[in-house]
Chain A
Amino acid sequence: MPVVEVRGLTKKYGKKTAISSLSFDVNEGEIFGFIGPDGAGKTTLFRILTTLLLPNEGKANVLGKDVVKDYKYLRKHLGYMPGRFSLYMDLTVEENLKFFASIFGATIEENYYLIKDIYSQIEPFKNRRAGNLSGGMKQKLALSCALIHKPLLLVLDEPTTGVDAVSRKEFWEMLKRLKEQGITIIVSTPYMDEAVLCDKIALIQNGSILDIDTPNDIVSKFKNKLFSIKTYNKYLAIKSLESYEYKNSVYPFGDSIHYSDKRDNTDNDVLIQFLQLCGINDCEVNVIDAGIEDVFMFLMKEKRHEQ
């Protein structure tokens, strides 16, 4: 039985549809990622799953229980870390942890083994007020607080937003170890590069799921030939390719440009020649495999054309 079973879930705020008929399953022991920008509906979905918000339509079962009827059971057995970490800024690190343990009728001692890895990193600062912690440390404390009652399912809403690359990396390493202890994890993120760290992902945009699959299977669905173009003259290259009659898509991508063509038989030389005509003589062109972000943009565009 899946840990989370969602069918046709819809939530509207007045006339605005925040999530529109979502359906998906999360299996035991998975790290399941919702990848999408602000306003995609990630927080609304997580609030419904954690019984904090009622859906307008559809059904959601979590741990085999109904999120509307069985909210009392679920609140005891879920760990929820909201976006922007809901810690008490006037309480110390240790007071926060004690507080969260006591609401759930747990003690720090009995479940310390579960948070040891994470909490020991901030324990030297246990008498510091939460408000005076750095972003990375707040994040670790919030995760400890969400775990201290030994939940069966952990729901993390954008735990890495605004946190630097080092802390983000450490955070994902922690999630992996929690998964090894048998905890199922649902996590949302706007960072596309975190998608590959999940077992399964749902790409979400404007309240709808664009695709659900393993990260590998998602990228393998990208059928266009994708070129990576590097040049010192990036802005001119983007402008030139934008006006190229055969272009399918042109996106700046880190230190290069990702380009796909309408023709099937385009090769590197064709593009090099075209760019030379535009006055760019230093470009390096390679055919590359698509990443999650390429697929996300491809699916977004496809969706727009449907509408």
Chain B
Amino acid sequence: MNNNKKVIEVTNLTRKFGKFTAVDSISFDVYEGEIFGFLGANGAGKTTAIKMLIGLLAPTSGKATVAGCDVYKQSEQIKKSIGYMSQKFSLYEDLTIAENISFYAGIYGLTDGQISEKTDLLLKKLNLENSRNELIKSLPLGWKQKLAFSVAIIHGPSIVFLDEPTGGVDPITRRQFWNLIYEAADNKKTIFVTTHYMDEAEYCDRVSIMVDGKIEALDSPTNLKSKYDSYTMNDVFIQLARKNQVQG
């Protein structure tokens, strides 16, 4: 991660809903090949912030560029330049593995030749060559997860957003998944991840913690733990999120 190329640049980004300020002037940068953890309590404003970064919601004020694209003017371009994987994995249960791969590759505008090449490559990498015609719904959760991640980066984006990617899977599968993430980061992909598992925050190069719409802390897990005199990121998180916790 010894890299100073910024792939996300955020300055005073703000979003209001009526009188309520969901995201309150946040600023941060994310670098190429970095695994960046974006944490916060339920209702802290994470989802609103991510929606702005991936071009789904216009900010009220402030500046942000993602993969070189401006979030106000180039929101369509952003969608093409990033990968996104959510908790629900968003694969089509009634389509086969190969069909899901071609479907997503097609949406991202790959040519037929590229699609068939990518499909073979991906099936081989995931050891799913013999299952290419199986329906997604017949797959174990862990496989779906790995496939969903691979599909999310099939168009070679420089950044991939992972929204609580590992919920509910067993501990071995979770770790296999993190190995995929490390591999992607090693290949200079930037990983922007949200999670409720605080031990996963420790897998990240740097994490930010949002409280009530603001970024209260941003640093490497090691530095945060020493700053807040804690053994775990869980303790850091609880200290920060409790500090000025507001119900609602």
Chain A residues with CB under 8 Å of chain B are 36-40, 121-122, 124-125, 134-137, 161-167, 169, 190-193, 205, 234-235, 238, 251-255, 293, 296-297, 300-301
Contact = CB atoms under 8 A, between A and B. Distances in A.
A252 B42 contact: no
B74 interface: no
13 contacts: A37-B171, A38-B168, A40-B170, A125-B247, A134-B248, A162-B164, A165-B198, A165-B234, A165-B237, A255-B221, A300-B171, A300-B172, A301-B172
Of A125, A161, A191, A252, the most chain B CB neighbours within 10 A belong to A252
A136 B247 CA distance: 9
A163 B197 CA distance: 10
B175 A252 contact: yes
B221 A238 contact: no
Of B42, B168, B203, B221, the most chain A CB neighbours within 10 A belong to B42
Given A235-B183, A254-B202, A255-B202, A166 B242 contact: yes
A39 B141 CA distance: 8
Contact of B245 (A161, A166, A235, A252): A166
Contacts of A190: 167-168
A255 B222 contact: yes
B196 to A, nearest CB: 6
Interface residues of B, number: 40
Contacts, number: 101
B72 interface: no
Interface of B: 40-43, 140-141, 164, 167-173, 175, 178-179, 182-183, 185-186, 196-200, 202-203, 221-222, 232-234, 237-238, 241-242, 245, 247-248
Contact of A38 (B43, B141, B182, B234): B141
Contact of A166 (B172, B241, B248): B241
Given A191-B197, A205-B170, A165 B175 contact: no
A37 B183 contact: no
Contacts of A191: 197
Contacts of A293: 171
A270 to B, nearest CB: 23
Contacts of A163: 42, 196
Contacts of A134: 42-43, 248
Given A125-B247, A235-B185, A235-B186, A162 B167 contact: yes
Nearest to A138: B42
Nearest to A296: B171
Contacts of B167: 161-162, 190
Contact of A135 (B42, B168, B185, B221): B42
A190 B168 CA distance: 6
A267 to B, nearest CB: 25
Complex A-B, nearest 4 residue pairs according to Cβ-Cβ distance, in ascending order: A254-B202, A38-B168, A37-B170, A235-B182
Nearest to A255: B202
B42 A169 contact: no
